[in-house]
Amino acid sequence: MMHVNNYNLTPPQELLDQCHQVLLPDSEEPIWRIKKWARAHCQSFVWAELIDTSDVSYDYDSVSAFYFTEESDKIMFALKWK
């Protein structure tokens, strides 16, 4: 039996470390809409999250990180949203 933590559904860091990551800067498009597109078009989509970058030297206050197990999905996603 697998235990699921309903408060934090983030996949294990070990899985995310194996994924291909795409970082998107702040966008006019809401993250939920981009995640919906990723789920519909990228079979290997794993996870998406907002990363606060206000405390580091970066041009944006936050970026959206999207994780894929297949490089082909990463490329298709990046071409669509970058």
Question: Low-confidence residues of the chain, pLDDT below 50?
Answer: 1-4
SS3 52: strand
Q: What is the pLDDT of residue 28?
A: 83
Q: What is the pLDDT of residue 56?
A: 67
Query: Rounded distance, CA 35 to CA 3, Å?
Result: 25
Q: What is the pLDDT of residue 27?
A: 77
Q: What is the pLDDT of residue 69?
A: 96
Q: What is the pLDDT of residue 2?
A: 42
β partners of residue 48: 66
Q: What is the pLDDT of residue 33?
A: 95
Sequence ranges of the domains in the chain: 13-81
Q: What is the pLDDT of residue 3?
A: 47
